[in-house]
Structure 1
Amino acid sequence: MTKILVVDDEADLEVLVKQKFRKKIREQEYQFVFASNGRHALEQLKDHADVAVVLSDINMPEMDGLTLLGRLSENHSLLKSVIISAYGDMENIRSAMNKGAFDFITKPVDFRDLEVTLEKTIRQVKQIRETMRAIKENNILKMYVDETVLNFMGTREFETTLMSSETVEAAVVFIDICSFTAISENESPDTVVELLNNYFDLMVKEIIAHGGFIDKFIGDAIMAVFKGEYQLDRAVDACLAVRNKISSLPMVSNHVKFEPNVSIGINYGEMVIGNIGSSSLKRLDYTVIGDAVNLAQRLQGAASPGQILISEEAYHRIKEYFKCREIGEIALKNKQNPINTYEVVE
């Protein structure tokens, strides 16, 4: 049984959760514990040390969700937290991710999306806990490893830096704001940051609306990942929506001839997902890597403003649902042979 802590000051959510997950509750797959705010949540965790996942709102009395995230990362490092909030703006999403949130869902809650997110989060928690248990119970290791090392392995520091990974099939998207350098060279820093955040905010909302999640922000570009059913279709839908909304935005100013536009690369396939980075610096990034990811980035680099490029393999998977145009073979960096590419038109 997986125990899940739901933190929200709205009593209606407790009722909805019990209704929507009544089958899993009845079959003892899930057990839900409820708290009305962050302070109450910390009290519940004292009585329910086996909680695996925390679902938390942001705006709550006494202790808000972002403050709770910070406390959880300090004292409950093996938990995974998912933010559920009506505040789906870029500032709140980035703050939540920076404080350790595993995922972000906006209200009103799509319970099918919530169920998929819960399953994904629970798998991650189980994998980490199984690894920790195997290490702690390994008697052979205890015979040959120095006691100082074993004591360190039982600390929160070790648990926090534990790196785990898995192979998944997903669609990955790279979206770049074309020629944004023109703004950074001609506008004030405050204007540049405000514009970039506004563009990102618009793009993130479309990505999340189509069931994707933000992997990272890279300068003036976004990397997003779509997992689960119809992953490639949802990725293409999101990118079409992003392109249309960005291209419809007005020119920045009279003295800077910049009309917002994006170039996009999409690909899908098997990729490795895990904590990548430097454990010595304590800087790890939960991200996806692999050839499928690299190809998506190369396709974005080859795309013109307003263009969405995909591989031939991806084209054959979506051609019945989207209008595409063959571009032809393109030589891409680190690819021995040219790649036949297609443009998603509509």
Structure 2
Amino acid sequence: MTTILVVDDEPDLEALVLQRFRRQIRAGNLAFLFARDGVEALDLVVRHPRIDLALADLNMPRMDGLTLLGRLQEVEDPLATVIVSAYGDMANIRAAMNRGAFDFLTKPIDFADLEATVAKTLRHVTVLREARARRAAAERAHAALARYFSPNRVAELAAESGAPSLASQRRDVTAVFTDITGFTALVETVEPTVLTDLLNGYFAGMTDIVFAHGGTITKIMGDALQVLFGAPDDEPDHAGRAVACAVALDTFAEGFRSRWRAETILLGATRIGLHSGAALVGDFGGGRYFDYTAYGITINTAARLEAANKVLGTRVCASAAVATRVPGFRGRPAGDLLLRGRSEPLRAYEPLSPEGSEDSATGAYAAAFQKLAAGDPSALSAFAALVGTDATDTLASFHLRRLLNGQTGTKVSLQ
């Protein structure tokens, strides 16, 4: 139903308007509100926020039409206003038009002209509201996209053409999961304001790195991130981007921990898991909200590899499916992991930075791991030598403990 506010102090006008528009009122198409001056009109506007159109006289007591028009134009959604006055007020009518009035009518009112003007103004209101709705929807969509994609990707997706589809589809991707060790316990001991600063700084740095490598953030869950490479558009080198991103995330997270440690906040290490393969990717928000995410064994496996770091003593763990897709992949084999939900072991690696891969200890570790895989009894002394040289090498320590406990080979059960 369309609601029209009539603001005029003439006593007979209300009856004339109701008589003229009686059929539309009975049909439920039109409703009228009446005010004697601008003060009453503003009160009605507050109490009836869905008014579509105002018809306002210029000369009224307490608050005249020009003052009322100015007040109606100050709100976020200005009310379309038609000024009604005599020919002798043409200077004021021009002033009203300059201040935002949509149209004007002269007195005495020609009701045929009034009907035509009302119809024209309501068409204008409809078009204007539709444009505002489209703009608001676009702004909401842009804000939603900005949570997931880099600024350049958001601009592409917001473009009218040439943007990749967000509809659900099966794609070849690399999934990355991150999680902070012991974060739940930390929450119980840190002041809320401090925790807010910590998380804001952490996620700002992490998301900047993800976006810089072309990744898509599909979820932020507490202190954890779920990231995709290879969606929504094709990235043939998605595995390489993911590995480079994971190494950069690890470097940032360790530096971030050190800075907060100086403030006596003992933030846990960030664990990262990566896996490549097919996944069902798309917007699964059900039409009510935007939720670009992914499902499938590839996603689950990446999450399992993130958790595997806790057992292995590593911070970053990537599957062979990732490593074999990256030319010149740099990393140490961690073992053949029997993950929960999988029947076959999966070879996992600890990705390294270019500097770390050239370390002499990396070559020594590779030789020790070859002996472990071959069942060579000298693997124990080889890993013992690695740990003796660097007691902080947690992956070498992990395999040394296994060998000391009588375990052999590279198969590690995490089920």
TM-score (norm 1): 0.54
What residue identity is the alignment partner of 2:319?
S
Q: Whole-Å Cα distance in 1 between the matches of residues 186 and 286 of structure 2?
A: 34
What residue identity is the alignment partner of 1:242?
L
Q: Whole-Å Cα distance in 1 between the matches of residues 238 and 214 of structure 2?
A: 8
What residue identity is the alignment partner of 2:271?
S
Q: CA deviation at 1:195?
A: 0.6
Q: CA deviation at 1:198?
A: 1.0
List alignment gaps of at least 5 residues for structure 1.
Answer: 1-38, 40-69, 83-95, 126-163
What residue identity is the alignment partner of 1:238?
C
Cα deviation per residue 1:110-155 (whole Å; 9 max; x = unaligned)? 9xx9669969973427xxxxxxxxxxxxxxxxxxxxxxxxxxxxxx
Alignment match, 1:303: 309
What residue identity is the alignment partner of 1:309?
C
Cα deviation per residue 1:205-234 (whole Å; 9 max; x = unaligned)? 000001111111011110111111311101
Q: RMSD in angstroms over aligned alpha carbons?
A: 3.4
CA contact (8 A) 1:246 1:260 kept: no
Q: CA deviation at 1:336?
A: 2.1
CA separation of 1:71/1:177 partners in 2, compared to 1, >3 Å: closer, same or farther?
farther
Q: CA deviation at 1:283?
A: 5.2
1:205 aligns with 2:208: yes
SS in 2 for 1:124: coil
1:262 aligns with 2:303: no
Question: Which among 350, 362, 375 is matched to residue 343 of structure 1?
Answer: 350
Question: Which among 210, 217, 230 is matched to residue 237 of structure 2?
Answer: 230
Q: Percent identity?
A: 27
Q: CA deviation at 1:337?
A: 2.7
1:220 aligns with 2:216: no
Greater helix share, structure number: 2
Q: Whole-Å Cα distance in 2 between the matches of residues 247 and 263 of structure 1?
A: 11
CA separation of 1:178/1:102 partners in 2, compared to 1, >3 Å: closer, same or farther?
closer
Larger Cα Rg: Structure 1 or Structure 2?
2
Q: Whole-Å Cα distance in 2 between the matches of residues 190 and 257 of structure 1?
A: 13
Greater strand share, structure number: 1
CA separation of 1:312/1:124 partners in 2, compared to 1, >3 Å: closer, same or farther?
closer
CA separation of 1:72/1:263 partners in 2, compared to 1, >3 Å: closer, same or farther?
farther
What residue identity is the alignment partner of 1:190?
T
Alignment match, 1:292: 298
Q: Whole-Å Cα distance in 2 between the matches of residues 104 and 245 of structure 1?
A: 20
Cα deviation per residue 1:270-320 (whole Å; 9 max; x = unaligned)? 1111233566xx4562211111111111100111465211112222222x4
Q: CA deviation at 1:253?
A: 5.1
Q: Whole-Å Cα distance in 2 between the matches of residues 306 and 198 of structure 1?
A: 24
List alignment gaps of at least 5 residues for structure 2.
Answer: 1-76, 78-131, 354-415
CA contact (8 A) 2:314 2:350 kept: no
How many residue pairs match? The answer is 216
SS in 2 for 1:334: coil
Alignment match, 2:49: none
CA contact (8 A) 2:176 2:226 kept: yes
CA contact (8 A) 2:156 2:163 kept: no
